[in-house]
Amino acid sequence: MWHSTYLQAVLQPDYVYASEHLLPHLFDALTAHALMLSQCEVEHAAEAAGHLRNLRKKPFPPYDPRIEDVFFTLDAALTDRDPAAAGALRTALSRNDLDMTIYRLSARMRLMRAISRILTLRQTILTLAEREVETIIVAYTHHQPAQPTTFAHYLTAVENNLARDTERMFGALGRLNLSPMGAVALGGTSFPINRTMTAELLAFDRPIENTYDAVSASDWQVELASIITITSTTLSRVLYDLLFWASRGLIVLPDGLVQGSSVMPQKRNPVALEHARTKFSKAIGMTQSIILSSHNVPFGDINDPGPDMQPSLHSMWQEFREGVELMTVSLASPRLNRDLWLLEAQHGESAVTELADAMTRHSGNGFRDAHARIKRLLSDLHAEERPLYTVTINDLEKHGIDLSEAELRSALDPAAFIARRTTLGGPAPQVMRGELRQAQGRLEQDTAQHAAATSRFMNARTHLEEGEQ
């Protein structure tokens, strides 16, 4: 009998987690194994597949401290029905290869869900960007106003990051979607099984060729954790900006995404964004436990990156997914204070780069000279506590800047600043519309790839649930 502490700290929590989150994958893996054994003419294997099909439709037994885990619970149920079929199923099978298969199937499902949420967020961002191609904002560097740009320019930069994250996720899927089944304990088996057939039944791309690798590798978990860290970090930076803009009334979330105060009637706190930020922080916290579970442990079948780490993976996916969902609804229909954003651009100094550019084009003395003169001009204006938009031709002449009134006003116009930025990737509306078309096309390709993979995985699940070869 197991020690009570071990039961309470390990076996019972593992059983509860597995019965709540891993059972479909357990039945899939065992059914595929039974079908493969039947094809290899292992007697009673076909009956095992049929029994598994029926057992998966019934409530799974609650935790029994006399039985170690869900595998042996299912093994006992199968034995009660048909001892010969239960014995056949154990041919060329170990919990080592079975567990790693289950974990990969679970991770595959959760990765596909994460990709789906990212695709939806990307579409939401592109839709908003298309609406805001001409909405002027002030971009910041080092927490200081930098240059005018458009909200579409900012949003498309975010979508570009998420497109790379999607690419990373699809790349990880290719390395994740490999079958450990048939590796048995670690050295394979002397039975003439067909590992490729099992892999195909489970919609894996192929078996993991080296059987020791099949039961030992945790690099796929570390890779998934790393991708979630990268994506969560990017989105947390976007959340910082959104909360900054919300604090100044530049972005207003819908009523369903804000909360008020029990004391201050005017409060509309953008709590959806705050909770999203927390969820990404928690997801990153889980990724660290996942990575550290593979640090300084033996390269073989071991609990640290195996069953002990599955709840952390579950929490990582859940927090990440919910954070993405909160960001998506927050960006679906925000109200923008375009007038206030434009006023900041007009009354600040963010367009002054174009004044230096205009002087460079007019004088031919080079940008270094223009930069120095404009900097001295700004120094004088600051000393007089005058905003840049009050600058006059006389002010320019004091610093040897030879521009007409029309040239001066055009240089300080945020809309003109943006319209001149027509080089590749710039914020000019015509450039942005072209970039958005490309981004939309890229998103449609990623969506089609995701749909094809999802269909393949779902068809495999349906085939296994029917219990037919």
Instruction: Region of 188 please: left (phi>0), alpha (psi -120 to 50) or beta.
Output: left
Domain boundaries along the sequence of the chain: 4-89, 95-130+146-343+437-466, 352-412
Give pLDDT tens digits for 161-203: 999 999 999 999 999 999 999 999 999 999 999 999 999 999 9
Q: Which residue has the tokens 């015509």?
A: 430
Q: How far, in Å, are 32, 64, 85, 203, 460 from residue 463 at the CA level?
A: 10, 31, 20, 10, 5
- Name the packing angle between helices 310-332 and 271-293 (round to 10°): 150
At 469 the pLDDT is 42
Cβ-contact 412, 355 below 8 angstroms: yes
| Identical fold between 95-130+146-343+437-466 and 352-412 | no
> What average pLDDT does the segment 364-382 reach?
91
Q: How far, in Å, are 64, 106, 392 from residue 21 at the CA level?
A: 18, 8, 70
The confidence band for 69, taking pLDDT boundaries of 50, 70 and 90, is very high
At 467 the pLDDT is 56
Top-tier CATH class for 95-130+146-343+437-466: mainly alpha
Q: H-helix or E-strand containing 251?
A: strand 251-252
Question: Which phi and psi (to 5°) does residue 146 adopt?
Answer: -115, -75
> What average pLDDT does the segment 390-414 reach?
91
Cβ-contact 213, 133 below 8 angstroms: no
CATH fold of 352-412, please? Ribonucleotide Reductase Protein R1; domain 1 (1.10.40)
Is it the case that residue 297 has pLDDT exceeding 70? yes
Give pLDDT tens digits for 375-391: 999 999 999 999 999 99
The model's pTM: 0.94
At 1 the pLDDT is 82
